[in-house]
Amino acid sequence: MSDKAHSSADDSSLVRAAQNGDMVAFEELVARHRDKIYARAYSMMRNEEEAIDLSQEAWVKAWQRLKQFQGESSFATWMTRITINLCLDQLRRHKRQRADSIEAMDEESGGVERHMPVVIINPTEGLERGELRQRIDQALSQLSYAHRTVIVLHEFEEMEYKEIAKTMGCSIGTVMSRLFYARRKMAALLSDLKKPE
Partner 1 sequence: MKEELQLKLQAYLDGELPDGEARDVADLIARDTGAAALVTELKNTRGALKAFESEIKLPESREFFWSKIEREIGRVDKPQTVDSSPAWLSAFLRRFLAPAGAVAALVIAVLLITQQTPGLVVASESETAFPGADTFTYRDYAAGMTLVWLSYPAENGFADFAPDDTLN
Q: Is 4 in the site for partner 1 (CB under 8 A)?
A: no
3-state secondary structure 119-172: CCCCCCCCCCHHHHHHHHHHHHHCCCHHHHHHHHHHHHCCCCHHHHHHHHCCCH
CB 25 within 8 A of CB 18: yes
Nearer to partner 1, 89 or 137 (CB): 137
Binding-site member from 120, 169, 195, 197 for partner 1 (CB under 8 A): 120
Binding mask 169-188 for partner 1 (x = CB under 8 A): -------xx-xx--xx-xx-
Question: What size, in residues, is the chain?
Answer: 197
Q: Among candidates 107, 101, 86, which has minimal Cα distance to 175?
A: 107
Nearer to partner 1, 96 or 132 (CB): 132
- Footprint of partner 1 on 37-76 (CB under 8 A): 37-39, 42-43, 48, 52, 55-56, 59-60, 63-64
Other beta carbons less than 10 A from residue 141's beta carbon: 11
Q: Is 35 in the site for partner 1 (CB under 8 A)?
A: yes
C-alpha dist (Å) from residue 27 to 7, 60, 90, 128: 10, 11, 25, 35
| Contact footprint for partner 1 (CB under 8 A) | 23, 27, 30-31, 34-35, 37-39, 42-43, 48, 52, 55-56, 59-60, 63-64, 114, 118-120, 122-124, 129, 132-133, 136-137, 151, 154-156, 160-161, 176-177, 179-180, 183-184, 186-187, 190
